[in-house]
Chains A and B, each alone.
Chain A
Amino acid sequence: MSVVASKDLVKGVFEGRIWAIARMITRAEASDRASEDALAEIYKSSRNAHVVGITGVPGSGKSTLVAELCKTIRKSGRKVGIIAVDPTSPFSGGAILGDRIRMGELVGDEGVFIRSMATRGALGGLSRATLPAIDILDAAGFDIVIIETVGVGQDEVDVVRAAHTTVVVSAPGLGDDIQAIKAGILEIADIHVVSKCDRSDANKTISELKNMLAIGLGLSAPSAWTPSVIATSAAKKEGIDTLAEAIDSHVKVLKESGEWQSRRLTMAEMRLLKTAEDILRDEFERHRAGKIQALVKKLANAEIAPQGAARKLLEDVWKEISL
């Protein structure tokens, strides 16, 4: 098996070839230096896709919602890329990626590309390769890229800095209104979805959510967009059209008010800092070997404090990197 050359891959991505898009994402996941130029070329020519983040607690129905939403968007002829993130086991390093189970019907449609990704230790609800994968799908001509995060808890909010529009999915029966007032995922929503609204206790969840949003309304920064609450039921095929319309009008409102530009700057800033951190972490892991044991022993015997030990370790590693 010969290795596919980077330039052939980039060309294939621009032509929208499925195998090339897929392989480029694999290279991005491997995050090796060899693909940096290819990814840079792709980044520079990807600027058009509307990135929609879908997040929510585990079991809230994100995958099902993404599948239904995708079908609805496809009716307008737009091409949809989906990146579905699932957790990596912290013990074995492996992962079961099961988001496709709910998306079976979408496969076979040439205008839909679905990619599953494991978090591989990244916190925040996304994986490291999520952002480059968005660039790749964008450059390959997908009009909308939907990112489905891992099931998140309360403060895994990276998606908000990766997506133009963030949808937070809540489901009935998963906690009272105090859960909703805590810091975290409720604050990042441009659009709230209450899923599984065929269930009898859904109305309670909707009204609690609306109350919490009303309390926060005067307190958050002024914006041209007011988050709405949309009730959906994938089983009864309800509310999905409303959601698709809200996603479209969100972009429109942002663009008209000029917030689009400031949001893009925020996203770029996050991208810059995240990438710098990733490079630092890689270099750190590459060079820390052999420098840790002595410090660990000292720290365990309380001969040195954690802060001091960490500074010493960083100093040693830095010396090697700058050589």
Chain B
Amino acid sequence: MADSKKTPIRVMMAKIGLDGHDRGVKVVARALRDAGMDVIYTGLHRTPEEVALAAVQEDVDVLGISLLSGAHMTIFPKVLRVLKEQDAKGIILLGGGVMPDEDVTELKAMGVQGVLLQDTPPNAIIETIETLVAERGAR
């Protein structure tokens, strides 16, 4: 049983655009839940604006976007723009799925704090999230 005194880490898992591959995002959502986190799942076919705004309303610690459609270089900048417009404070943006290495470097440069590619084991994802949230600290 998780320590009831500790506030669970809040994570939003999102799917954006036409990408309908949601098996991965559901597996990760379940793994995070089992690690004691509150996981908000947006469902399929959202727009970048909807997801960013929802993440601000939900005041999540982490926004994780799963993308297997190749549209990451257009979607992440839009999400980052809305987060900034909304004056979001301390939301960690993560990407997951299938992306070329050179894109990952670029995504990180624009403010995506971590990219967890295919075949990343659930435990590694949990660890990454816990570390990033701890490093960010209270907000």
Contacts and interface: CB of A to CB of B under 8 A. Distances in A.
B42 interface: yes
Contact of B36 (A92, A102, A116): A92
B8 to A, nearest CB: 6
Contacts of B35: 92, 94
Q: Give the size range of B's interface with the partner.
A: 35 or more
Interface of B: 1-5, 7-8, 10, 29-30, 32-43, 45-47, 49-50, 53-54, 56-59, 86-90, 136-139
Interface in A1-53: 1-4, 17-19, 21-23, 25-26, 29-30
B27 to A, nearest CB: 12
Main secondary structure of the interface of A (DSSP, over half): mixed
B61 to A, nearest CB: 9
B54 A19 contact: no
A121 interface: yes
A23 B59 CA distance: 6
B42 A101 contact: yes
17 contacts: A1-B89, A1-B90, A1-B139, A3-B139, A4-B89, A17-B87, A18-B53, A18-B57, A26-B10, A93-B2, A93-B4, A96-B30, A97-B39, A98-B40, A101-B43, A107-B46, A113-B57
Contact of A19 (B4, B32, B33, B88): B88
Contacts, number: 116
Interface string A73-96: 000000000000000111111111
Given A93-B2, A94-B35, A19 B43 contact: no
Given A22-B56, A93-B8, A108-B53, A100 B88 contact: no
